[in-house]
Chain A
């Protein structure tokens, strides 16, 4: 089963590269990665799904928290969290299978977003494993084409976000630092 790392970071050029760089430098493969801005447009939320053993993951998250652009990196594997993914799928359906496909879609709570003579386009959300099942079943009806969004997750615990206050850079402060006062 995959583990989920959630990051709150500054919405700046290069921030994404710094995070993924930590993974690639250690030879870890990213299963999925999503990133979008938060309520504060200056910040982004990133969700990464990976498969890394616990010691390596702890180390990695510490390194992520060291990145200047990262405000907080959390391992959602260990605490309560909700993870969802979306899949968009095109199913080629023979005339006689159309009803069965719609029934199946209903069971998984999927919606039809387009319907043509050849088949349907479906949209489904759910946890990763549920979508795997849905995709499996749909494959049994014939040729399908799938685009997955990658996991997005939210922690169910309120985690205290500690941000560093502004750092004064006036002449006196800087001179004192040079003299080892601060």
Chain B
């Protein structure tokens, strides 16, 4: 009972089967037939104001829900504008499907109007990509794309569809099975290795759980909590893993790495066993690799075999899905504990004391002033309002680090940032996707005055769709992180980091039809934030903070992570 349908309709039919409810996109010449089919289809389309932001919004949707986000762009410039968003999703393993239009098959290769080699350009920007030149291939390709994006180590998949495929007609037959003989997903983990890992966890005197984005992506937060409590190990969550274990959990230490806490980095350096779960030993975490966790044996669990022993050799690798492997690890731990009678572990007790001491010596705590708003003060206020529950998206830079250090995330998928690629302009569009997926949730988009100005056009999208995102601009008048490096490592020769001419937020937001304001006095901050969250609709709060505040602790590039600079260098006391 197949039906004669246009390619555009077949595409929408397949998207519907995949459960797609919203597409973030921007139409154009060759996607006209697709948009025509969309006209009377229940899938919603959110018109962003730039294609890059369509990809970021799809990511915000995917990151906050775990479902595949979908974005759409036309051929040529539409497709090339998506690329940053695709690479960003690739780096952070975010499942999105990008649909792009391509010029008609007979025009490919003729330098036709708005033609670009999208398939070639996005090859290295995606987990997999497709060029569909035959309408018969379309249904299977779409289901393959969604399966590849969401399964295994997730990632972006792009489908480039020629205009003649959109416009052609074919008998549509739902695809009930796809065949990807070369696509291997390892889920279960090796039973013997799991047993040995459990053994190691109970034998270690100074174990440390190093939990990453894989916990969040794999929805393995409950399973992580169980294991952490069983073995009672201190736990650090990476920038991508924040929320994987609640920041209020007694075993949670904080974030490690370049701007990680003293305790987290010292614990990494002192541990005798690192239980690395869904992490990739990123250079921003390890610092100088040769000096990283020098005393630790490594248990590394990851769904991607290519991550094992990539940067740091794994003493005990387990390739599998954390959601499946962690319960098995816990079961093995319990078994061993009941066999051995779970004896006291004096070494572990000592280790906990040490870790707590480190935490007390140099805690991550906000800095306050009575004359100016410290950026840390701003984050502390947002933390107080959020109380571990709000969605927070950020851009990249100083504000991102402070938001990671000082705001608590008590569940996964609350903290949304561009970790691997570090794309400025990510915060606002990703908040659009997150708010769309979570209409009743409080969504803060904390951005710097630099990145915010990269995503300005999306203010219209917020207003257009009534998305009540609270934009908090941490405005220091600088590209703060670059300025910090110029100050510390380039003799304070500040070059092209001053951001003058920031628009008046009340006028700017007002021009789009919502409210904005500037706050400068520490005493006004709490009240201004209250006003922002109580306002019915989007709100732009421009917070003027200490211009030259630096993010600490800091591990200078190429340094070992236990060689942190803990604060501004104090002038030598005069005798």
Contact = CB atoms under 8 A, between A and B. Distances in A.
B183 A164 contact: yes
B567 to A, nearest CB: 38
Contacts of B18: 174
Contacts of B305: 62, 65-66
A71 B131 CA distance: 20
Nearest to A67: B182
Residues of A in contact with B, size category: 20 to 34
B181 interface: yes
B574 interface: no
A20 to B, nearest CB: 10
Contacts of A10: 181-182
A99 to B, nearest CB: 52
Residues of B in contact with A, size category: 20 to 34
Contacts of A180: 219
Interface in B76-110: none
Contact of B177 (A59, A63, A168): A168
A1 interface: no
Interface stretch (B46-54, B118-126, B419-427): B118-126
B154 to A, nearest CB: 13
A166 to B, nearest CB: 5
A39 interface: no
B306 A66 contact: yes
Contacts of B150: 177
Contacts of B183: 68, 164
A171 B17 contact: yes
Contacts, number: 74
A135 B280 CA distance: 47
B148 A68 contact: yes
Interface stretch (A11-19, A90-98, A126-134, A147-155): A11-19
B177 A167 contact: yes
- Where chain A touches its partner, the secondary structure class is mixed
A169 B123 contact: no
Contacts of B67: 178
B177 A169 contact: yes
A65 B131 CA distance: 22
B19 interface: yes
B183 to A, nearest CB: 5
B120 A17 contact: yes
Contacts of B119: 14
**Among B19, B305, B306: residue with most chain A CB under 10 A:** B306
A64 to B, nearest CB: 9
B121 to A, nearest CB: 11
Contact of B184 (A21, A59, A162, A178): A162
A27 interface: no
B143 interface: yes
A25 interface: yes
A18 B179 CA distance: 19
Contacts of B148: 68
A166 B177 contact: yes
A87 interface: no
A181 interface: no
Interface in B182-232: 182-185, 219
B353 interface: no
Given A17-B120, A169-B147, A63 B19 contact: no
B164 interface: no
Contact of A71 (B143, B175, B182, B310): B182
Given A21-B123, A174-B19, A167 B180 contact: yes
A68 B177 contact: no
A68 B183 CA distance: 5
Given A164-B184, A168-B176, 18 more contacts: A9-B182, A10-B182, A14-B123, A65-B305, A68-B180, A69-B182, A71-B181, A164-B180, A164-B185, A166-B177, A167-B178, A167-B180, A168-B177, A169-B176, A169-B178, A170-B176, A171-B17, A180-B219
8 contacts: A68-B148, A69-B182, A164-B180, A164-B183, A164-B184, A166-B177, A174-B17, A174-B19
